[in-house]
A and B are shown apart, each in its own frame.
Chain A
């Protein structure tokens, strides 16, 4: 099967909606037979539903492998060393299950190969990547959708995969955008197709002609998204001042070794890439000017 995501090429009988072109590292994906057993390993992380997070999930470690239970989906079995992911049945729908696959399960696999995950969208501006970094509900998906509507290639929507090779690059993720309903109704994403809906979001599968492949894209800038009242300001931030934000936007397991790994990654990022604060009002009519400001700085 041709097609790739985060530098992985699925080896699978299943079909996928969000793959990019090209090839990648073999990545076995299969539906598990029967119901998965209740996870017995060590509970590593639990995500509970809070106003800024919609899903309830638990991650268990069983030796070098993991089991991820997600409310409404079931249990994913992850072997980062293989790498492989076993999927629960598609009770929530094939597309929604695939979206979960490209979340934490795949992130554990690309962590194992040495890449660094960051809670950020990413767009391709003139052959270089710009990360749009922010926690949930700060407008990064809306901004990424604005870039797509303006003709730019979206490289990641929620989790950016950063590779130091040796300079930082973004490895493109799933070709999807999950935008708020009012955003979906406000502008056109050329070539994109609505494939699912959830809560108040419409899930788009991006234009196949503009997806490209998973070739890593050199990372030139990180933009930390801030909410403002009036006007748009983009200001460079000293590296030491960015680490707190990057730390909060990074994923790490609760072990000293993984915290050190994460710290090394974000410190290296802060030391090598231009990082700026972008303060802007969260209004759709300001999107074109915001995009213009980011592109002008690139």
Chain B
């Protein structure tokens, strides 16, 4: 089932996040399994905006305000990214 724009997505508590050098994105580590996932700059922005209080729509707005030339389908990109995180049990 696709993530709804008015839903609130929560980071999984057992996931650690670190940014890498500027322009190199960041890394998510599932602390219990040791699995890690590289994410790009936009992914980092999305992750940092996931505070459990913002809706997906509000996260999308936050990303739009922070990037130059946001694509028209940014909302779809954010939803697809969150769905990939959910498949990997990195968000709930």
Binding site for A on B (CB under 8 A): 14, 16, 18-21, 24-27, 29, 31-32, 34, 36, 38
Write the nearest CB–CB distance from B17 to chain A, whole angstroms: 9
Closest to A270 in B: B20
Determine if A260 and B24 form an interchain contact, defined as CB atoms under 8 angstroms apart: no
Write the nearest CB–CB distance from B12 to chain A, whole angstroms: 12
Determine if B18 and A268 form an interchain contact, defined as CB atoms under 8 angstroms apart: yes
Contacts known (A243-B27, A256-B14, A259-B29); A267 close to B34, Cβ less than 8 A: no
Separation of A240 and B25 alpha carbons in the complex (Å): 8
Q: Name the A residues within 8 Å of B31 (CB-CB).
A: 256, 259-260, 263
Those of A246-298 within 8 Å (CB) of chain B: 247, 256, 259-260, 263-264, 267-268, 270-272
Other A-B contacts than A263-B27, A263-B36, A267-B20, 8 sampled, CB-CB below 8 A, are A240-B20, A240-B24, A240-B26, A241-B38, A256-B31, A256-B32, A271-B19, A271-B20
Contacts known (A239-B24, A240-B38); A263 close to B32, Cβ less than 8 A: no
Q: Name the A residues within 8 Å of B24 (CB-CB).
A: 238-240, 271
Q: Name the B residues within 8 Å of A256 (CB-CB).
A: 14, 31-32
Q: Name the A residues within 8 Å of B21 (CB-CB).
A: 239, 271-272
Interface size, A (range): 10 to 19
Write the nearest CB–CB distance from A95 to chain B, whole angstroms: 36
Separation of A121 and B25 alpha carbons in the complex (Å): 29
Write the nearest CB–CB distance from B30 to chain A, whole angstroms: 9
Separation of A207 and B25 alpha carbons in the complex (Å): 44
A-B contact pairs, 7 of them (CB 8 A): A238-B24, A239-B24, A247-B34, A256-B31, A263-B31, A270-B20, A271-B19
Determine if B27 and A240 form an interchain contact, defined as CB atoms under 8 angstroms apart: yes
Separation of A154 and B29 alpha carbons in the complex (Å): 33
Q: Name the B residues within 8 Å of A247 (CB-CB).
A: 34, 36
Determine if B20 and A263 form an interchain contact, defined as CB atoms under 8 angstroms apart: no
Closest to A256 in B: B31
Separation of A238 and B24 alpha carbons in the complex (Å): 8
